[in-house]
Structure 1
Amino acid sequence: MGTKEASLLLGFSRKRLLDLLAEGRVKGAYKNGRFWEIPVYEDEMPIIIPGRRGPKGKWRTKKSTKPTMIHVNQSKIKGNIGKPPAKLEPVLSVKDGDRNDYGYQLNITGPCQIIYRPYKPTACGARLWINTYERVEFIDTQFNPVTARQPSKKIYRVG
């Protein structure tokens, strides 16, 4: 494989790949005349040998196997009773890794699982939540009474 294809697969510039090749950090790579020959290994990807200093590279990071968690916050629902629309707090939270997004209405684009564990709540105290590996789209992040009746064209993507 050449440097152009390898840099596209690894997700960084050709110049950065050439620097790594010059440092001898691409496993099994060798120079054939003026061109670099880069072997591919598992998952048809070149292997980069980590450096000894500095931050770790972000290439080849696998997607998290943890699902996106959607939580309906019961205490916020109770707290919103009697409040005017302008003061309502979002009752839906979407937890994806370290991110936590809030809204009033959302769409799950694929399969999901509703989980109820009364005796083993999550770290945040939730006993009922929805898990999905699919994309979650917020339809309403600013409370609008119209969106309670029909979906808005304004979509916020999460994940």
Structure 2
Amino acid sequence: MKKIIHVNQHVIRRNTKHGTDEPVLTVKTYKENNYAHEAIIKTKDGVELAKVIYSPHKPLSCGARVWVELDTDTTDVDLIVREGENND
């Protein structure tokens, strides 16, 4: 089954504006939507590969409130740049 992790920027803005703490991540399948502040990406064996983290009260130094963290001992990242897209 395919799952999509969606970051809802409208909820991030609303939380920032009103001081609320609603979950901004939606994990979607064809059957349901589940809402969270953090999503942990694991193998079928339970090994954690990465986390999608929402941290409104302690953003990164660049100002990001949502980011993906991974352990490079178990996981690596390949970067793909597509021609014709904005690559700023």
Structure with more of its chain in helix, by fraction = 1
Structure with more of its chain in strand, by fraction = 2
Pairwise same-fold verdict (TM > 0.5): no
TM-score (norm 2): 0.44
TM-score (norm 1): 0.26
Structure 1 or 2, whichever has the larger Rg, is 1
